[in-house]
Amino acid sequence: MLGHFLKPEYEELIAKKEWETLRVSLEELEPADIAEILADLPSEDSGVIFRILPRERAGIAFEYLPLDKQANLVKTLGGEQLVKVLNEMAPDDRTRLFEELPAEVTRQALSTLNPEELKVARKLLGYAEGTAGRYMTTEYLSLLPTMTAAEGLDYVRKHGTGRETLNVLYLADEKGLLIADLKLSEIVMAPPNAKLGDLQQRQLVALQATASREEVVIAFEKYDRVALPVTDTRGMLVGIITVDDVLDVAEAAATEDIQRLGGMEALDAPYLEIGMWEMVKKRGGWLSVLLVGEMLTTTAMSYFEHEIERAVVLALFIPLIISSGGNSGSQATSLIIRALAVRELELKDWWKVASRELRSGLTLGMILGTIGFLRIFFWPTRETLYGEHYVLIAVTVACSLVGVVLFGALCGAMLPFALRRLNFDPATASAPFVATLVDVTGLVIYFTVASLILRGSLL
């Protein structure tokens, strides 16, 4: 459905310097598809294509490129193409690009913008990273509530060219105070002489420029709008956020959460494009921290060395028991982190969650304990493998499973709440982090249960 292109053909056309054929073939393409070709071409070849493309189409195609590719191009494009491209970009996309660039390159690139656009970029750059101010564009159209529908349409016809969206228009007074938003279709369908200020039908929903990324996504999900206005603390209209950017933001947020849940820092770039050392750094940090945490298991086990010496059979079940606790914790933490991220749960719900996890953790523990018991009790070679006290061992394993699965569920569910309470991101409570916590406790539970049940027989 999205068309297919033969990328080698473009490389060939460039190599043979067949500029005219190249231009004609590019003319037939959608900018998004040109961007797809550009993403695969080496930077020099992309430069050639930017020289050939008309100014406006070059800008749009550039916007469709992934951020890291844009950053690379900014460094390699000549002055002329750079100006062409940067000046045509939507302000919000340009801001995101600048965030990605090293400060030196940013300074150089900003200097290529014309004065008016520079002002826009600076304004957008004044808001903290990850806030509504960073995702907004200033390319909206604002109307006065005293205009009639016919005057409004005339105004749109005169000033609408080049705005990021005309689907929604904004009513603001002379000072810029946001009063309402109107769909273009509402103006079209209104009687020509109706005052725009009287048309308002839906409650005004506006985002503060300081609203977080999650608040932005949630407002769009809740109100089903294609664009939402952004105001400063005084209610003055400063920009709008369009839903296409929100979709990108939501997907990026989910990617970050998944990567952190997997026990690493968020990559912030596509897998195949991140450098080898960057990747090792983002993964190695947490792996090392977890390893150091896991060393506590060695310390814990050295306390039980005597028990293991007397009953080596106990060692056989260590991986089984600690990993069951880890799995139970991994489930609970994934559930709760996502529910907190999409605001199904709030901080105040921790008690409800704790009491649910207590019940489901206990039930799950009993199911697993039963399976574990049966596995040992009915194993054909149970007496040679586990010795004459195999029934007691089966009971030990079963009780330990109940304990670790319950503890894993509680610990995995409560840790994200605790982190949120301490103003950390709940997603820091990755599955491996919870598993490590549960491993140490799991060993203590196992050997405590063992010493209670096996005292006088094996121990």
Residues 421-440 that bind a copy of itself (CB under 8 A): 431-432, 435-436, 439
Closer of 47 and 404 to a copy of itself (Cβ):
404
Q: Is 336 in the site for a copy of itself (CB under 8 A)?
A: yes
Residue listed under structure tokens 């956020």: 241
- What's the CA dihedral at 203, 206, 212, 214 to 10 degrees? 30
Residue 208 pairs in a beta bridge with: 231
280 neighbors 288 (Cβ within 8 angstroms): no
Stretch that binds a copy of itself, among 99-107, 111-119, 174-182, 336-344 (CB under 8 A): 336-344
Size of the site for a copy of itself (CB under 8 A): 125
Region 261-290 residues binding a copy of itself, contact defined as CB under 8 A: 261-264, 267, 270-272, 276, 279-280, 283-284, 286-288, 290
| Euclidean distance between CA atoms 40 and 53, whole angstroms | 17
Please compute, for residue 162, the number of CA atoms within 13 A of its CA located in the half-sphere on the CB side: 11
Task: Give the ranges where 169-275 is alpha helix by DSSP (H).
Answer: 184-189, 196-199, 213-223, 243-261
**Cα–Cα distances in angstroms (integers) from residue 42 to residues 7, 47, 76, 82, in the given order:** 12, 9, 11, 17
Closer of 24 and 312 to a copy of itself (Cβ):
312
| Euclidean distance between CA atoms 76 and 106, whole angstroms | 13
Contact mark string toward a copy of itself, 3..42, x via CB under 8 A: --------------------------xx-xx---------
CA angle (59, 14, 19) in 5-degree steps? 75
Give Cβ neighbours of residue 17 (< 8 Å, ≥ 6 apart): none
Identified binder of a copy of itself from the candidate list 353, 399, 404, 406, rule CB under 8 A: 353
Region 98-157 residues binding a copy of itself, contact defined as CB under 8 A: 153, 156-157
Identified binder of a copy of itself from the candidate list 87, 167, 212, 428, rule CB under 8 A: 167
Closer of 334 and 396 to a copy of itself (Cβ):
334
The minimum distance between CB 447 and a copy of itself, in angstroms, equals 12
Identified binder of a copy of itself from the candidate list 319, 378, 422, 456, rule CB under 8 A: 319
Identified binder of a copy of itself from the candidate list 324, 396, 400, 441, rule CB under 8 A: 324
Give Cβ neighbours of residue 445 (< 8 Å, ≥ 6 apart): 321, 400, 403, 404, 407
Closer of 1 and 15 to a copy of itself (Cβ):
1
Give Cβ neighbours of residue 111 (< 8 Å, ≥ 6 apart): none
Stretch that binds a copy of itself, among 102-110, 116-124, 172-180, 302-310 (CB under 8 A): 302-310
Closer of 48 and 184 to a copy of itself (Cβ):
184
Identified binder of a copy of itself from the candidate list 58, 97, 143, 443, rule CB under 8 A: 443
The minimum distance between CB 174 and a copy of itself, in angstroms, equals 24
Residues in the chain: 459
CA angle (440, 444, 447) in 5-degree steps? 135
Q: Is 206 in the site for a copy of itself (CB under 8 A)?
A: yes
Region 356-375 residues binding a copy of itself, contact defined as CB under 8 A: 356, 359-360, 363-364, 367-368, 371-372, 375
Q: Is 244 in the site for a copy of itself (CB under 8 A)?
A: yes
Closest CA to 261 of 439, 429, 412: 429
Q: Is 355 in the site for a copy of itself (CB under 8 A)?
A: no
